[in-house]
A and B are shown apart, each in its own frame.
Chain A
């Protein structure tokens, strides 16, 4: 069992995908599209076209059997299976149980298999192929766990180092499986109903370790093509440097393959994702910032492997900062460095760089995803299956219930299952999704929303949130039937730059619950400046925010822990017009909205309840599901 767990460890390391990279400098030149949508539907649009934009939900980060790590997790589901899952069909988890998407079909979905050795493992496991004759294939698919682990770690080491294992690096197979994934995305794209993108994951990881494991700073990012995709995917076997990826994307863009990349799991990047230097340790400059923002306008802020918004040590005055924090480097027990790993701090450093050097490489919007490696995301606390197949496919493996033979948390045996459950899997989350505001459900409209950064992230529920900033907004607009249109016409939506006029801007923050999930408790606006941050409650289910503390009164909502039933009331929608009480017309500020649901049981509590054992004591019993919008950047007049 020990070796198997060793495999699990390295597998987990690989499953994580994110990586720090230099960010593009953002300046006013990189301003978001602030024009309001056309008022009337134009000819040639799909049914459901809405000039005031609809909220569409999707998952932009899904792995299938073609990912080298997923295959080792016993995942055999294909890209076709993944898209069918997203549209509501039931598929099998590698451990044999059924997976059905929580909350009904999604509007968009994207398979992002690791580009490195894409499809090579299935080929190595197919009798009769040349790849299956390789010694490494014999080992990998032997029944000897030590050999399996060694073979698998060898692949991980190659992905990390960027040095190909020549006999496994069969570009014919890799490119052909890439084109199969592209074809699957095209085949399942139904304009107006369901959008897909050709996409993959670039799996870069830094390391300062010499033990051959995968542990290191996660610099993974997913690459998405708006329409047609090139015939190969740039991977770490080309270069482990994300800046080289951007060069490639720029080159492909000039050949009319438009794309963006979305980094993820900055939380376990060991301070690398938002480091204030280039990949090679050189100073950033304006050209760097421009290239980064051109290629990476969005960042994934929540997923199974935790939250990348902020960390309690970075935001000691934010009572909600300690939320689903996961800080173990990939596949090891080492703790990731906090500084340089979180989005809110990056926004602050971006403003600082802007002030000192005239560019901002961290002018990005926010999305959420699952990073599921079993083709189907687990978005529901009540129905959770984590993400790495047979390795974390049971409550015991996830550490949500005591090890077999025990019923108490006080006397857990000292074995790897228990340890991995404690250090890793019990701290993973049933998260997340991306919301976009787009006129219709098509590749063009959704990709354009990515470019505008008119996106928000949720931790699983499909709550919707609008956010606008402008100078002409009035209180009575809030109750005008055409509020949305007026808001677009009089200001900028999330993702936009709000250029100063000398006057204080007003913000419209408007949240609507997921009709099939928990009610809302409060809406907050997070303000970031180059030298600080503040969290303001701006709309409350009960009462109004205290003007001194900027906090809502307690709305008394809770959870009956004997049944996980929510108690108390919450709001179906919350809406407010807000002005920053500490506004300074001469100071750049980044504002984003955070929406909090009432408390609900965490997945680990649901599993304990069903098992009849006490919930794990070292993780919270309840959580507050939430949404984060892309910011609006206030930029003082010149």
Chain B
């Protein structure tokens, strides 16, 4: 069989094999394109579907109906694909894209961060690990609904009194306030919710002081404020938030990996958008 080692012979045999396989494949393809084969598995699936809906196995007539429906759907679906109807359909496209993106997501193992990775992350995303600025204060409220335009002047008058008589009790002063008259260590952003953004901004600017200050305007009215303590926003120490940093880091890497997997697929395509250079 020495001649089998001849390069020319090898080539001819290989070519014949390839040609034969291709022909067989083509024939099978043609057959599968023009044949709707309802397999035993498919018949069982249809019967099971019927049973789960109806609670009983399908009779021969039901099977006939289901099979002819199946054949009809399959024929129409293939014809639709042949005509390219699946190409412009948002639902189908989105559904396929979703299936694919699901398949590529979460395939990889989570990477393990190093100590330096985490410390760098902590610094780079300091805003996520920062204790908000807080403020402790009392206030006396002057309601425009009660006093009208006099709310502001009434407040100014009382301010002078308060600061010249520091021992004066304030619990009975001003108008009733629906919420609290004292707030302890409340985040400034909470003031924005309770009093409006202008009040929160004004309070951020005012210093802690033994004196009463104001009048400060809110969306609710006019206030005199006694700020006893302010805490600046502060980055929580790395050791305290290590677990949170790690979780944040891993989640981000996971998102990046998923996005990368999708990007890799996209990169296999040339994208041309008509009218866009």
Residues of A within 8 A of B (CB): 4, 47-48, 50, 52, 54-55, 74, 103-105, 125-127, 135-136, 138-139, 141, 143-146, 154, 163, 165-168, 462, 464, 466, 478-484, 510, 512-513, 515-516, 571-575
Contact = CB atoms under 8 A, between A and B. Distances in A.
Contacts of B55: 163
Interface string B7-49: 0000000000000000000000000000000000000011011
A463 to B, nearest CB: 11
B138 to A, nearest CB: 12
Given A512-B178, A516-B219, 10 more contacts: A55-B179, A135-B45, A135-B49, A138-B45, A466-B178, A482-B172, A516-B192, A516-B196, A572-B145, A573-B220
A484 B95 contact: no
B220 A572 contact: yes
Contact of A462 (B174, B186, B193): B193
B99 interface: yes
Interface residues of B, number: 50
B180 interface: yes
A47 B190 CA distance: 13
Contact of A575 (B77, B103, B145, B194): B145
A136 B49 contact: yes
Name which of A139, A145, A482, A515 has the most chain B CB atoms within 10 A of its CB. Answer: A515
B92 A143 contact: yes
Given A135-B48, A572-B144, A515 B218 contact: yes
Contact of B195 (A50, A139, A515): A515
Contact of B193 (A104, A141, A510): A104
Contacts of A125: 102
A468 to B, nearest CB: 12
A127 B175 CA distance: 64
Contacts of A480: 172, 176
Contacts of A138: 45
Nearest to A166: B52
B193 A571 contact: no
A135 B49 CA distance: 6
A574 B145 contact: yes
A481 B179 contact: no
Interface in B98-148: 98-99, 102-103, 143-146
A479 B176 contact: yes
A127 B103 contact: yes
B63 interface: no
A50 B179 CA distance: 9
Contacts of A571: 145
B178 A464 contact: yes
A504 to B, nearest CB: 23
Q: Lowest 8 A-B CB distances belong to which pairs?
A: A515-B219, A515-B196, A483-B176, A135-B49, A143-B92, A135-B45, A572-B220, A512-B178
B103 A135 contact: no
A291 B276 CA distance: 68
Name which of B143, B174, B179 has the most chain A CB atoms within 10 A of its CB. Answer: B179
Given A47-B184, A104-B193, A575-B145, A482 B176 contact: yes
A482 B144 CA distance: 18
Contacts of B184: 47-48
A513 B143 CA distance: 12
17 contacts: A4-B91, A55-B179, A103-B193, A127-B103, A135-B45, A135-B48, A136-B52, A143-B92, A143-B95, A481-B173, A484-B178, A513-B220, A515-B193, A515-B199, A572-B221, A573-B220, A575-B145
A126 B102 CA distance: 8
Contacts of B195: 515
Contact of B176 (A48, A143, A464, A481): A481
B251 to A, nearest CB: 10
Interface string B210-222: 0000000011110
B175 A479 contact: yes
A48 B52 contact: no
Contacts of A144: 73, 77
Name which of A143, A145, A165, A513 has the most chain B CB atoms within 10 A of its CB. Answer: A143
Contacts of B86: 143
Contacts of B244: none
Contacts of A74: 94, 98
A516 B194 CA distance: 9
B53 interface: yes
Nearest to A486: B176
A167 B52 contact: yes
Contacts of B266: none
Interface string B193-207: 111110100000000
Given A481-B172, A481-B176, A482-B171, A135 B196 contact: no
Contacts of B78: none
Interface in B157-189: 171-181, 183-186, 189
Contacts of B221: 572-573
Contacts of B48: 135, 167
B179 A464 contact: yes
B80 to A, nearest CB: 10
B96 interface: yes
Contacts of A48: 183-184, 186
Nearest to A485: B176
Contact of A573 (B102, B145, B194): B145
Given A54-B180, A135-B49, A138-B45, A479 B196 contact: no
A154 B98 CA distance: 23
A87 to B, nearest CB: 11
A146 B95 CA distance: 14
B52 A54 contact: no
Given A4-B91, A144-B77, A515-B193, A154 B99 contact: no
Contacts of A54: 179-180
Nearest to B195: A515
A165 B52 contact: yes
Contacts of A573: 143, 145, 178, 220-221
Nearest to B219: A515
Nearest to A483: B176
B189 A104 contact: yes
A135 B70 CA distance: 14
A54 B183 CA distance: 12
A516 B196 CA distance: 6
Nearest to B93: A143
Name which of B48, B53, B176, B179 has the most chain A CB atoms within 10 A of its CB. Answer: B176
Nearest to B200: A515
A481 B146 contact: no
A495 B193 CA distance: 26
A484 to B, nearest CB: 7
Nearest to B45: A135
A236 B50 CA distance: 23
A466 B219 CA distance: 18
